[in-house]
Structure 1
């Protein structure tokens, strides 16, 4: 539900608010983690639900921005073993304080 004719009035008064984007670059780490470990609802029960949540989030962003040419999704791989060990030891030291 919106205010009738508000967008029309706003876009006429401030024409620079309407911007078109050629490219949309997504850092998937900021999408995957919140979709697999949500704070406001229970975690997905299986991998299919997890993928659906990720796809819905990407669709929502895509519909907001509506890039004309490129959708670029940057996805990191698994953290190296040394980094995982370092993070575990740091967390363990924090718990002992």
Structure 2
């Protein structure tokens, strides 16, 4: 969910946070803390606009590993490397996400019917 106005608070107090640096200018860091939710989502849903897009679990794990390696090579933390991954969501959040996925699936099915009016079949990803 995030902390409301946290980025604004941090960027006002630490203006150098928003500076663009080249790869040769990266300062030394003692710690690297990663919130894995955004990384996992971006690697498992790289193209949300394409209804026909499918990706395997092996490819997701490969992409996540490559992304973490790239970040680690750029930052090169000296002491701590910490990855935070959320646990199971509370029941209310799970229900909200289920409803959102249902709407997304219904919209995707409608988009498929619109894009393939002649009834051309496509292969579906097997559910777990």
Same fold (TM over 0.5): yes
Pairwise CA RMSD:
3.0
**1:25 aligned to 2:33?**
yes
1:65: how far off? 0.5
Describe the shift of the 1:86–1:48 C-alpha distance in structure 2 as closer, same or farther (beyond 3 A).
closer
Q: Say which of 65, 68, 81 aligns to 1:55.
A: 65
Instruction: Name 1:3's counterpart in structure 2.
Output: none
Instruction: Name 1:95's counterpart in structure 2.
Output: none
Task: Check whether the contact 1:22–1:67 (CA below 8 A) recurs between aligned residues.
Answer: yes
Q: Say which of 92, 97, 117 aligns to 1:82.
A: 92
Specify every segment of 5 or more residues in structure 2 that has no aligned partner in the other structure, as ranges. 1-21, 104-128
- Separation in 2, partners of 1:31, 1:24: 14
- Separation in 2, partners of 1:35, 1:23: 23
The size of the alignment, in residue pairs, is: 77
- Separation in 2, partners of 1:57, 1:18: 18
1:78: how far off? 2.6
Specify every segment of 5 or more residues in structure 1 that has no aligned partner in the other structure, as ranges. 1-6, 12-16, 93-97
Instruction: Name 1:44's counterpart in structure 2.
Output: 55
- Separation in 2, partners of 1:43, 1:71: 31
